[in-house]
Amino acid sequence: MSRVGKYPVALPQGVTAEVKDKTLAVKGKLGNLSLPIPSEVVVSVADGKVSVSMHHDTSRARVLWGTTRNNINNMVKGVTDGFKSVLEIEGVGFKAAMQGKELVLNIGFSHEVRFTPPEGITIKAEKPTLLSVTGIDKQQVGQVAAEIRGFKKPEPYKGKGIKYQGERVRRKEGKKK
């Protein structure tokens, strides 16, 4: 049984939530997000709190109960504060720059890697070796950061590549003579 699902999500000042046609819409200072509600759970908004309950006690409903509650919590955090993922680029000559809305990466290939972020995601090249991905949708921010990291994952011998800030790359010992 989920212990997360039983706790209501408090709506901070300036955030509104509305359930309409099996869809929850959350509006805040940074934007709007919506979430389709599964038929196994019931979402209600009252007294500045969003609570989730099960329709019937089945195993699928128990799984979706906690998941739906956490998705709603992430939506509320997203429209109030937003989410940020920071990527570091390591390697000689490796760099990143923004050209208009497009991210241009020089990461050791014979060509530049170009990436256009989806709607609602902002990428900033704070330094040539430091990128920040920001947005209000937690899943989308993580997906874009993972796609950028996927262009050149950090390799274990020299540690060159794109990694998350704070990520430790497990290093291997090189060939011995």
Distance CA 62, CA 1 (A): 6
In a domain? residue 43? yes
Question: Per the structure, how many domains does the chain have?
Answer: 2
Residues 92 and 118 in one domain: yes
Backbone angles phi, psi at 157, to 5 degrees: -90, -45
Q: Is a pLDDT exceeding 60 seen at residue 1?
A: no
As given in the structure block, the two tokens for residue 148 are: 């950028």
Supply the range of the domain harboring residue 94: 83-164
Q: What pLDDT, in 10s, does the model give residues 35-66?
A: 999 988 999 998 889 999 988 888 888 889 98
Mean pLDDT score, 117-127? 93
Residues 78-87 have a mean pLDDT of 94
Are 31 and 94 in the same domain? Answer: no
Side by side, the strands of the sheet bearing 83-90 are 121-127, 130-135, 83-90, 161-164
The first and second tokens of residue 16, run together, are 């509104």
Say if 73 falls within a structural domain: yes
| Same domain assignment for residues 38 and 70 | yes
Write the DSSP assignment of the chain as a string of letters.
--SSTTSPEEPPTT-EEEEETTEEEEE-SS-EEEEEPPTTEEEEEETTEEEEEESS--HHHHHHHHHHHHHHHHHHHHHHT-EEEEEEEESTT-EEEEETTEEEEESSSSS-EEEPPPTTEEEEEEETTEEEEEES-HHHHHHHHHHHHHTSPPPTTT--EEEETTPPPPP------
Kindly state whether residue 132 falls inside one of the protein's structural domains.
Answer: yes
Select from 43, 62, 80 the last residue of a domain.
Answer: 80
pLDDT at 75: 93
pTM, 2 dp = 0.87
- pLDDT tens for each residue of 18-33: 999 899 999 999 999 9
Domain holding 113: CATH number?
3.90.930.12
Enumerate residues 6+ apart whose C-beta is below 8 A from 159: 90, 169, 171
Residues 21 and 65 in one domain: yes
Of 80, 100, 124, the last residue of a domain is 80
If asked whether residues 27 and 73 sit together in one domain, one would say yes
156 falls within a domain: yes
Q: Is residue 4 part of a domain?
A: no
